[in-house]
Structure 1
């Protein structure tokens, strides 16, 4: 290894470039590049590459166009749903107003019905009281009549005897 280092340090004097068929390495690289370019041109590689790139560009443009149309559709849907939401909010507000009006009407009807029911129950109570008063008056009259009849029976029993009864019975029979 020391020999290689001494050769390198001394310069190009002891070092020789490799050559094949009389061509140096830079000439081989140039020849390989010419062959590669000739193959590319002969096989139409640039056309294939540009064709592939063109098709990829077309795909990308189509994807961009699709994205634009999808965005337009999305914006249209967004506008539609925004309108639907606004409409739904208006409908909800209208329904809420209707429900409030209906609740007020139900409340008013319930108040009116309760007043009618209270008046009806009051009349029924007054009628029951009046009937109870009539029944009490009738009961008092009946007890007064039965007391008067019992008293008159006792008085008649004391004042009349069998002779007076016969006399009255005879008078009744003769009047017939």
Structure 2
């Protein structure tokens, strides 16, 4: 048994393990493992902290987005109200303009009618005077006729105008 290679390999392994324990390798390995565990734990804590911060930022951005959307909706609604108000004002001004222009046109028409009636009356007066003058001239003669014609013409003129 002392001559086999396996036996000597086993003895070498045992001596190596004893040497490792004597040097303090298990404590160093345990310390390294503890350090690694602590570092991993710290990284996990930092990752959790970063995740919580990211979630808080996400919530803040979502709140800001909702606020911005609400503000945009408010602005759009105000713009719609303003557009309706401006449209109503423009329509009212247009109605007033149309009414004023219609009234002005009606006034011009009434004035033209009055002028036409006046012209027709004037023309009718002139024709009536001319006809009366001709009739009286043919039927009445002498000074009395001239005086009567002049008086009649003057009366007709006064009554027709």
Q: Does the pair score TM above 0.5?
A: yes
Q: How does 1:43-82 map to 2 (within 5 A)?
A: 43-82=23-62
Q: 2:99 matched to 1:119?
A: yes
Gaps of 5+ in 1: 1-18, 145-176
Match of 1:172? Answer: none
Q: How does 1:143-154 map to 2 (within 5 A)?
A: none
Match of 1:173? Answer: none
Q: More relative contact order in 1 or in 2 (CA 8 Å, sep 6+)?
A: 2
Q: Which moved more, 1:54-63 or 1:118-127?
A: 118-127
Match of 2:5? Answer: 25
Deviations 1:74-124 (A, max 9, x none): 221222223223322322332232122212211211110110111232234
Deviations 1:40-89 (A, max 9, x none): 22432222222221121111111111111112112212222232233223
The structure with the greater share of residues assigned to helix is 2
Q: TM-score, normalised by structure 2?
A: 0.60
Counterpart-to-counterpart distance in 2, 1:134 and 1:98: 53
Counterpart-to-counterpart distance in 2, 1:40 and 1:135: 135
> Size of the alignment, in residue pairs?
126
Q: How does 1:95-134 map to 2 (within 5 A)?
A: 95-129=75-109
Q: Which moved more, 1:129-138 or 1:50-59?
A: 129-138
Counterpart-to-counterpart distance in 2, 1:132 and 1:106: 38
- Structure number, greater radius of gyration: 1
Match of 1:92? Answer: 72
Q: CA RMSD of the aligned region, Å?
A: 3.1
Q: TM-score, normalised by structure 1?
A: 0.56
1:132 Cα offset (Å): 5.6
Q: Which moved more, 1:95-104 or 1:121-130?
A: 121-130
